Amino acid sequence: MSFTPIRVAVLGSGFFGNTLAMACKDNNAFDVVAICDLDSASAQELATRAGARAVVDPAELAVATDIDLVMIATPNHTHASASIGFLQAGKSVFVEKPLAITAEDALAVTAAAALSEGQLLVGHVERTMPGIKRLFHQARSGKLGTLLEGYGSRSRLVHVPEGSEDWWKLDRTRSGGELLHEIHELDLLTWVFGEPVEIRTIAGAPRPAGSRIEDSVHKTTLKFGSGAVGYHELSTSAHVPDWKFRVSGTEAALEADFRTGKVSRYVDAVVTEQWGIFDSERANDSLRASAEKKQAYNAAGAAGPYWMQAAVECELAEVIAAMRGQESVLIDSPATAVIAGVEAMAQASQTQSSKGTPASTGALVGA
Ligand SMILES: NC(=O)c1ccc[n+]([C@@H]2O[C@H](COP(=O)([O-])OP(=O)(O)OC[C@H]3O[C@@H](n4cnc5c(N)ncnc54)[C@H](O)[C@@H]3O)[C@@H](O)[C@H]2O)c1
C-alpha cells in the first residue's frame, strides 16, 4: 500500500528540533514543510538544511493548510499551550516529553486531543526502542506471570557547562524540574503498571545553591491498582551511575540496562535469555560508549550520540504508525507520567522543607 507523506512542521530548532527535523528529512514517510522558532536565524538555518520554509510566528503553523503534524521541541513549559493550540486547529501533535509541567495542563492537553481531529503523541522515546517494546509486550501478555514489582532508575553526575546560568534546562519554572524533564523511566513504570494509586517521594537536599543543579536526589515508591509496587530513583549527583528499567513477575523478571544496551530475562537469579535494547549493534555499542562518558544536558547545536539518532528513527516509526491509524506505543496514557511526576515533586518539596532547608528553595525554582 502506498501512503502520501506526512506533512510535518517542527516547532523549535534547538538540539532536539534539529534531530527530529533531520530524521524526518531522511525518512520518505515525511515531507518537512516548515521550521518555526522564535529565533529567526536558527529557524532559517535548519529550514535551509531540511528543505523547508522558515516561520517565526507559531500561529502561522496552526492556520497553514499544508501541515498535518506539528512536532513540538521547545522548552518544556511551552508544551501544553502549544499542543492545545495546534490540536484545536485540527493538527496532529507530536510533543516532546514532558507533555506538560503541571497536572492541570497535562489534563487540558488530553481534553483538547479528545475534541480534535488530530492525534496527540508524546515523545516517550524509550517506549519505542525495540528491546523495550519487547519487554513491555512480554510483561503485559503474562509471560512474566503476575506482575509484582517494577524498578526504574536514572542516576548520574550531571555536568553543566560554564556560563549557562539562564539556561531553561536549569530553571524549574521552565523545565518542570528534573523529575519531569527526565520523565522517561517514570513513564515506563506507569506505561507497564498503569496509573499509581499511591505515591511516596523523599528528596535529598539539592547541591549547594549556585551549582545550578536542582532536585538532585529523588526516591519514589509507587503502588499500582493491581497491588504491584514500583520504585523510581533519580539523581543528578550520583558518582555511581545507574540507568535501568526492570519488571518482575511471579514467573520471571526482565531487566533493561541502558548502560550495557541489553535486556535480560531472569528466572530465579539465572539469565535465561538476552536481547538488545536496539536491534542494531551499532546503536547498542553507542549506548555503551555514552555510558563511559561524562553526562551533561544537551545544548543547542550539540551533536547527539548515534544511539539517539537510532532512537529517533524508532520513534518516527511509531509516529508513522499512529498517523496511519495503526497501533503505536506513543498513543497510550499520555498524561499519566506527568500527573505521577507532579505528585512526586510536591511530596519532594515537603520532605525538603520539613528538614529545614529553605535555602534550597531558591535553587529549586531557579531564582
Ligand atoms: N526525547 C529525548 O531524548 C529528548 C532529548 C533532548 C531534548 N528533548 C526535549 O526536546 C525539547 C527541546 O529541547 P532542546 O534540547 O532541543 O532545547 P533547546 O534549548 O536546544 O531548543 C529549544 C528551542 O526552542 C526555541 N523556542 C523557545 N520558546 C519557543 C516558542 N515559544 N516558540 C518557538 N520556539 C521557541 C528556542 O529558541 C530554541 O531554539 C524539550 O522539551 C526537551 O525535553 C527530548
Per-residue pLDDT of 78-106, as tens digits, reads: 999 999 999 999 999 999 999 999 999 99
- The per-residue pLDDT for 300 is 79
296 or 338, greater pLDDT: 338
In short, whether 298's Cβ falls inside 6 Å of ligand 1 is: yes
Helix, strand, coil shares of the chain, percent, nearest 5, are 40, 25, 35
Q: What does the domain layout of the chain look like in residue ranges?
A: 6-123, 127-298+333-361
Pocket test for ligand 1, best of 74, 79, 101, 290 (most atoms within 8 A of CB): 74
Residue range 209-236, pLDDT digits in tens: 555 555 578 999 999 999 999 999 999 8
Q: Which CATH superfamily, name and number, covers 6-123?
A: NAD(P)-binding Rossmann-like Domain (3.40.50.720)
DSSP class of 78: G
Separation of CA 226 and ligand 1 centre (Å): 36
Residue 79 Cα to ligand 1 middle (Å): 10
The DSSP secondary structure of 27-49, one letter per residue, reads -TTEEEEEEE-SSHHHHHHHHHH
User: Which residues make beta-bridge pairs with 31?
Assistant: 7
Nearest CA to ligand 1 atom 43: 97
Q: Evaluate: CB of 42 within 6 angstroms of ligand 1.
A: yes
Give the C-alpha separation, 165 to 63, whole Å.
36
Cell digits for 345? 515533586
Q: Are 109 and 99 in contact (CB under 8 A)?
A: yes
Nearest CA to ligand 1 atom 18: 14
How far from each other are the two terminal CA atoms of the chain, in whole angstroms? Answer: 54
Q: Are the beta carbons of 302 and 169 closer than 8 angstroms?
A: no
- Percent of the chain exceeding pLDDT 70 equals 92
**Ligand 1 close to Cβ of residue 128 (< 6 A):** no
Give the amino acid at 78.
T
- What share of the chain has pLDDT > 90, as a percent? 80
* DSSP per-residue string spanning 153-183: EEEEEEE--TT-TT-GGG-HHHH--HHHHT-
CB 230 within 8 A of CB 149: yes
Does the domain made of 127-298+333-361 have the CATH classification 2.30.42.10? no
Burial code of 43-80, b = ≥16 C-beta within 10 A, e = fewer?
bbbbbeebebbbbeebeebbebeebbbbbbbbbbbbbb
CA 209 – CA 207 distance, rounded (Å): 6
Task: Give the model's confidence band at 356: pLDDT under 50 very low, under 70 low, under 90 confident, else very high.
Answer: very low
pLDDT at 77: 98
Query: Ligand 1 atom closest to Cα of 167?
Result: 19
Task: Read off the pLDDT of each residue in 31-52 and give the average, rounded to a whole number.
Answer: 98
